[in-house]
């Protein structure tokens, strides 16, 4: 495990400017949170899968994401079905005190699709944006270089922890110790130690250097291509269209 969400590939999504992807993610998150139209939510989910497929993101990574997401969605749906017992009138099924209505099912479907859409939107950016892209894009949004680097590292804290956990578990295993619980606390300690070492290493390479009037730069500054503007335009149009439909009460 590489310790980052980023999946190297050469698709159009990887080439897309990070700021456009971030905008796309934010638009999807906001629209899916605001509009509960199940057809819109389902269509968004399908479109994002098509984007990942055409962007050459390997299917096994999307599969791994669903391996975590599907049980989560199922859990949420079951909790909703059990707890929204008194909601709705169109009873589809009854078992003693517990009843399932068409309205409850529809609400479950909308919530599950929302969760899936939001998570997919986040991972659409995470899978296709490298550390350099994050730094480039965030400095393009006028964040200071040091802050951009910190945020780019923070994005991958969770996969880094998992990678270290697996490493520690393996180290214990080759010494004959099974079981992974002790490796949990090990992993946190090692992660903090590595963060500290990286911080010292950064200082020896000039991070936080006083350079007077010279501002830090990036090797390849962010630059919007025609394709990036096109995609941004589409995102804005879709957002405007959906906002109009919501306003019209669809």
Partner 1 sequence: MADIITVMNLGWRYAAPGGGGDPIQGLRDASCYVQQGALAGVIGPTGSGKSTLVKALAGIIPHCTKGSLNGYVRIADMNVKSTTVSDLSLRVGYVGQDPRAQLTSPTVAEEIAFPLENRGVEPDEIEARVDDVLAMLHIGDLRDRDTATLSTGEMERVAIGAAIAGEPDVLIVDEPASLLDEEGYEDLVNVIDVMRRRTRMTAVLVEQDTRFLAQRADAVFLMVNGEIIRRTTADIFTRERSLLESVGVIVSDQDAMPLVIESDEPGAADNPAVVFNHVHARYADSPPSDAPQLDDVAFAVQQGDFVAITGGNGSGKSTLTRLVNAELRPDRGQVVVNGIDVASRTPVQMAQQVAVVGQHPADMFCAQSVREEIGFGPRALGVDDDEVARRVNEMVRLFDLYEVEDMPAAALSSGEQRAVALACALVMHAPVLVLDEPAAGLDHRLKSRLLNTVARMNQEGTTVIIATEDADLIQRYCSHAARLDQGRLVSYGRVRANGQRFLAPPPVQSSHAASDGKGVAR
Judged by the rule CB under 8 A, the positions of this chain that interact with partner 1 are 1-4, 8, 130-132, 145, 167-168, 170-178, 182, 186, 197-198, 200-211, 214-221
Euclidean distance between CA atoms 81 and 89, whole angstroms: 14
Euclidean distance between CA atoms 159 and 7, whole angstroms: 12
When the beta carbons of 117 and 186 are compared against partner 1, the nearer one is 186
Q: How far is the CB of 121 from partner 1 (least distance, A)?
A: 23
When the beta carbons of 60 and 94 are compared against partner 1, the nearer one is 60
Q: How far is the CB of 163 from partner 1 (least distance, A)?
A: 9
Matching residue, tokens 């310790």? 3
Euclidean distance between CA atoms 152 and 132, whole angstroms: 8
Helices (H), the chain: 12-15, 18-34, 38-54, 59-83, 102-128, 131-140, 145-154, 157-174, 181-204, 226-247
When the beta carbons of 70 and 201 are compared against partner 1, the nearer one is 201
Q: How far is the CB of 72 from partner 1 (least distance, A)?
A: 25
Q: How far is the CB of 131 from partner 1 (least distance, A)?
A: 4
The answer to whether 18 touches 134, Cβ cutoff 8 Å, is yes
When the beta carbons of 69 and 207 are compared against partner 1, the nearer one is 207
């Amino acid at each position: 495990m590489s310790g980052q969400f980023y999946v190297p590939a050469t698709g159009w999504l990887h080439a897309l400017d990070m700021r456009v992807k971030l905008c796309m993610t934010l638009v999807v998150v906001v629209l899916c949170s605001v509009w509960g139209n199940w057809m819109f939510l389902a269509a968004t989910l399908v479109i994002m899968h098509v984007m990942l497929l055409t962007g050459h993101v390997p299917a096994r990574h999307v599969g791994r994401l669903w391996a975590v997401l599907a049980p989560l969605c199922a859990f949420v749906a079951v909790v909703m079905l059990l707890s929204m017992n008194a909601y709705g009138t169109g009873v589809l099924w009854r078992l003693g005190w517990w009843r399932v209505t068409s309205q409850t099912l529809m609400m479950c479907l909308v919530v599950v699709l929302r969760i899936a859409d939001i998570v997919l939107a986040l991972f659409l950016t995470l899978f296709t944006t490298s550390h350099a892209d994050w730094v480039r894009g965030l400095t393009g949004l006028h964040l200071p270089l040091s802050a951009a680097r910190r945020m780019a590292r923070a994005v991958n804290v969770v996969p880094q922890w998992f990678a270290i956990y697996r490493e520690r578990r393996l180290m214990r295993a080759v010494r004959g110790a099974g079981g992974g619980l002790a490796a949990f606390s090990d992993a946190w300690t090692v992660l903090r130690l590595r963060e500290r070492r990286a911080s010292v290493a950064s200082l020896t390479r000039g991070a936080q250097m006083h350079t007077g009037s010279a501002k830090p730069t990036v090797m390849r500054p962010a630059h919007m291509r025609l394709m990036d503007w096109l995609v941004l335009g589409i995102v804005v149009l879709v957002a405007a269209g959906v906002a109009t439909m919501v306003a019209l009460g669809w």
